[in-house]
Chains A and B, each alone.
Chain A
Amino acid sequence: MANEKVIFRANGLTKIYRLGEMAVQALRGIDLELRAGEMVVLLGPSGSGKSTLLNILGGLDTPTAGEVYYLDRNLSVAGEEALTRFRRDHVGFVFQFYNLIPSLTARENVAAVTEIARSPMTPEAALLEVGMGERLNHFPAQLSGGEQQRVAIARAIAKNPAVLLCDEPTGALDSETGVMVLEALEKVNRELGTLTVLITHNAGIADMADRVIRLSDGHIVEERRNTHKKAARELHW
């Protein structure tokens, strides 16, 4: 795995938010490399900076200081248009609250992304990949939480992204449904070889990762490799 191509490289990433008079330092100098095909779990309590890191990697936010490279492209100096392009072509997002568009069916939610992607799979194929092939024409309101999240995963992978960024994808789900969602992510990672970064504060999920990075107060406090990676269905919490 260590020989795989480096997808993301971050050096001294710092992020300071201004909330009125207060300055909140979310990241305090993060150095990091993420490689192709890896399954990485970012662990940490809330406020540790993991979402900020994920957003900067995904081009949703820019660092205050430091650099982040996607392959050989410096994202920290990229403009709005370049970041839009980057997100459109290379990044798939999965959010804790699914964020499906309520007025579109499962198939259409995926199509909203495939229509603007460079070489996408069909919405049907993406939904089949996450086990949602039967519920193509259901609206979000007609789906359970787990099903909605699987549609969100299909939507994220449909563009064949280089990286899949998941922010607490099981945070709003019960353990059983959460496992189903994680299985879907595991399958995508295994079959498509997509670099998958998964944020959680649930240490139990860390066992399915190749690598676990623990953040606290804007620093990386621990980084370890799992010698025995567990399958998603073996997890519970």
Chain B
Amino acid sequence: MTTLDRKLIRDLWQMRGQVLAIAAVIAGGVATLVMALSTYDSLLATRDRFYADYRFAEVFTNLKRAPQAVAQRLAEIPGVGRLETRVLAVVKLEVAGFTDPVTGVLSSVPDSGEPLLNTLHLKRGRWLTPYASDEAIVSDTFADAHGLAPGDRIAAIVNGKRKTLTLVGIALSPEYVYQIAPGAMFPDFKRYGVLWLGRSALAAAYGMEGAFNSLSATLTPGTEARPIIDRLDTLLAPYGGIGAYARRDQFSNRFLSEELKQLQTTATVFPAIFLGVAAFLLNVVVTRLIATQREQIAILKAFGYRHLTIGWHYVKLVAAMAFFGVAGGVALGAWFGNGLANVYMDFYRFPYLDYVLAPRVVVIALAVTGCAALSGTLIALGRAIRLPPAEGMRPETPIAYRTTLLERIGLQRFFSQPSRMILRHIERRPLKSLLTVLGIACAGGLMMVGNYQRGAIDFMVDVQFRQAAREDLAVTFIEPTGAAALQEIAQLPGVRQVEGFRDVPANLRFSHYHYRSALYGIQPEGRLHRSLDSALRPIRLPAGGVVLTDHLANNILHVKPGEALTVDVLEGRRRSFEVPVLGLTKQYLGVSAYMDQDSLNAMLGEGNVVSGAYIAHEPGAEAALYSQLHARPRVLGMVAHAAAIKSFYTTLGEFVLFFNMVATLLAATIAFGVVYNSARIALSERGRELASLRVLGFSRGEIAYILLGELAVLTLAAIPLGFLVGAGLCGILVMVFKSDLYRLPLVLEPYNFALGATVVVVSAIASGLLVWYRLGRLDLVSVLKTRE
């Protein structure tokens, strides 16, 4: 080991506090990157393997009823690989001891042997006994939510008749990775479940012997889905086909893909912000650190060390700090990433998790950190090296201080001598002061980014459920029903208000853009279910046209009010209509198209029929109401909002909170690292000056006032700037987090600002205490003995 290397190690040890703080800043940035990207990579790898292993189909379609012989013709369509038919039914479920409405999907599997497509991963229990009529396999989310085990029983209202099923197995399916009831905003594992039954048992219950109402297929390699879908639609139209769709549009997969897309955005934006800020801070800190080494650089030069050797020495010093940071960051990020991926697994159900930490992620971390550290080092080194050694060894020429602006305008009598020193110091080094302020501001801003989502989500939920969809309960009927049903519901005990709605599945088209969604016919001046304008005020739905969610119109269909939208209805006679877009409605969760219900009924050529009803009820009336509704055969499903919101907060909320907690923790680490470094470097820059003052009779408190007073002034200046930085960074997040699932609003609550400011202030106080301790150990004698 050369002597310079020995110096390196000792210097690192000597500066260990700062080394740790710098490493913490880097680790914060790197961990965010590693966490987000590794989670993304892992989920992608896991999804792909699960889909392949369990033969997830590529095209799906549902229909009313077709004889099995039709399947043969469909299988012969060129481009279709494997094709499998089945019977699918939506039912009400009853779980002992649980009174809330529960919706279930019954899906048939072959009477013996495994399905050809969409195979199940049996987590517990066993497969169905061949041709058993009263056995079922249950989805694991539902089983977990209700604590169901193989051997337990569950009742299903199958075609109006109550049927008891024995659960023999608990399984996962590639079709239901994300289990969410159609039309629901959030997954609700307690109130929505999937059951797999033997084909003949289910067919018998629904009169589907020798027939099917659902099919899925794979495509031969290189086949486009579109022509196959068109062909299936044509062939199945006589059998009540409601439109085939590709895997891309498959419900669970679409959510999963959207979530992965969001995660990818998270994995790009968060690390870009965190690592970017960390890199900037690293650069500032390293520049100042190297500047304090100016004298030693001069000595090495005087000895005849080459620039390259000296440069390499300092590059190694900084590289060591960066390395600690990156190594710590990768370890921390992998740990958090694993945790996050597992949180994801709570509501995206995979049988296994392939945790992937791609080398690319570590390379990116090293490259970004390396560049930031190196540029900072080289800039400062360049400055130090350019200095002739003779000059470098002399103390820096005293800075040309002068009276500050405040003093010049006659306010000096308000400032004591130490206060003037603080002000002059800040004013004389404006760039350095500015960089310190900017660094602390960035750290505070990061804190706001870390915890802002919570408030945004609260706001989204408030708009969605307290201002737009204000009903307590949404009930869907088995099929469109005359409006008289509403009267009947209104008579039920505890019901305060009922509003009918009509919804049809539809494909919305404008130019070459299209979107598959539901078209909702609601009451034009509904008091329960309302449309909101951009200022979130309820609007009256105009007759004779559609009102679209702003995001759907602006970013998906690219249609403007006044233009005509094509609506392909995917139900009944499957007709197409041209309807004018009459307005836009603000919506943060999901996207939809709305019409006034009468206009929709008229367009479909039907009378006053409703698909379901929105209900407001008296508090405490839930249980009785549920059982009354449940008992009605025409009632297919119920979604209770309060329960949905609650379940949202415990599932999605848990994930967001985990992410927030980690992001906040990392932001706090970065904040502390920056503030501590600022204080510590200020101390090394001014140690001699302060020691001289001590010699002159200043107390420890007085010199601390001069040093920490400056830090305090800069920190206070940084806080409002940090608010701006934070708001700006959150604004970037809002811009990039736009999907048809949700759009984040830019809502900053007082606590966002408070937390940002608090972490900065607490970091400053802690750093101040550490510096205070060091001030007590200033070597006064050495100041007298050596120069200045």
Chain A positions within 8 Å of B, measured between CB atoms, are: 51, 55, 58, 60-61, 80-81, 84-89, 91, 93, 95-97, 99, 101, 103-104, 108, 111-113, 115-116, 145, 172
In the complex, which residues 1-34 of chain B have their Cβ closer than 8 Å to any Cβ of chain A? 2-4, 6-7, 10-11, 14
CA distance A145 to B781 in the complex (A): 11
Q: Which residues of B contact A116 (CB under 8 A)?
A: 303-305, 309
B residues neighboring A (CB under 8 Å): 2-4, 6-7, 10-11, 14, 295-296, 299-307, 309, 388-390, 393, 785-787
Q: How far is the CA of A112 from the CA of B304 in the complex (A)?
A: 11
**When the two chains form their complex, are residues A103 and B11 in contact, meaning their CB atoms are under 8 A apart?**
yes
- Determine the main DSSP class of B at the interface with A: helix
Answer whether A112 and B7 are a contact pair too, CB < 8 Å, given A55-B390, A61-B388, A97-B786. yes
User: In the complex where A95-B393, A99-B295, A172-B785 touch, is A113 in contact with B303 (Cβ < 8 A)?
Assistant: yes
Residues of B within 8 A of A88 (CB): 303-305
Contact across chains for B306 and A84 when beta carbons are under 8 A apart: yes
Instruction: Please give the distance in Å from A164's CB to the nearest CB on chain B.
Output: 13
Q: What distance in Å separates the Cβ of B428 from its nearest Cβ neighbour in chain A?
A: 15
Contact between B785 and A108, CB atoms less than 8 A apart: no
CB-nearest residue of chain A to B13:
A103
Question: Which B residues are in CB contact (< 8 Å) with A80?
Answer: 307
Centre residue among A99, A104, A145 by max chain B CB count within 10 A: A99
Contact between B3 and A111, CB atoms less than 8 A apart: yes
7 contacts between A and B (CB under 8 A): A55-B390, A87-B303, A99-B393, A101-B296, A112-B7, A113-B303, A172-B785
On whether the beta carbons of B785 and A104 are closer than 8 Å, the reply is no
**Is B390 a contact partner of A145 (Cβ separation < 8 A)?**
no
> Which residues of A have CB within 8 Å of B787?
96-97, 172
**Which residues on the B side are within 8 Å of A91 (C-beta)?**
304
Give CA–CA (A192, B245) in the complex, Å: 95
Q: In the complex, A104→B309 CA distance in Å?
A: 17
A104-B10, A112-B4 given; A84·B390 CB < 8 A: no
Instruction: Assess whether A51 is in contact with B786, with CB atoms less than 8 Å apart.
Output: no
User: Are B301 and A104 closer than 8 Å at their CB atoms?
Assistant: no
Q: Nearest chain B CB to A187's CB is how many angstroms away?
A: 22
| Complex alpha-carbon distance, A151 and B358, angstroms | 52
- Chain B positions within 8 Å of A93 at CB level: 302-303
Identify 9 new A-B residue pairs, CB closer than 8 A, beyond the known A93-B302, A97-B786, A115-B3: A61-B388, A84-B305, A91-B304, A99-B299, A101-B7, A112-B3, A113-B303, A116-B305, A172-B787
> A58 to B393, alpha carbons, bound, how many Å?
14
Which B residues are CB-close (under 8 A) to A95?
393
**A233 to B395 Cα, complex, angstroms:** 32
- CB-CB nearest in chain A for B395: A97
Which chain B positions have C-beta within 8 A of A84?
A: 301, 304-307
For A111, the chain B residues whose CB sits under 8 A away are: 3
Note all chain A residues with C-beta closer than 8 A to B305.
84, 88, 116
Nearest-neighbour CB distance to chain A for B684, whole angstroms, equals 12
10 shortest interchain CB distances as A-B pairs: A88-B304, A103-B10, A87-B304, A55-B390, A60-B390, A112-B3, A111-B3, A60-B389, A97-B787, A99-B299
Q: How far is the CA of A91 from the CA of B307 in the complex (A)?
A: 18
Check A145/B7 contact, CB under 8 A, given A88-B303, A116-B305: no
Give the nearest-CB partner of B4 in chain A.
A112
Kindly state the separation between the CA atoms of A60 and B390 in the bound complex, as whole angstroms: 6
- Kindly provide the distance from the CB of A162 to the nearest chain B CB, expressed in whole angstroms: 13
In the assembled complex, the Cα of A223 lies from the Cα of B309 at a distance in Å of: 41
Least Cβ–Cβ distance between A53 and chain B, in angstroms: 11
Contact at A85–B304, with CB atoms within 8 Å?
yes
Taking a contact as CB atoms under 8 Å apart, the answer to whether B389 and A115 are in contact is no
Taken together as a complex, chains A and B put the C-alpha atoms of A70 and B309 apart, in Å, by 25
Is the Cβ of A89 less than 8 Å from the Cβ of B304? yes
Q: Are A112's CB and B14's CB within 8 A?
A: no
Q: Which residue of chain B has its CB nearest to the CB of A89?
A: B304
How far apart are the CA atoms of A93 and B303 in the complex, in Å? 8
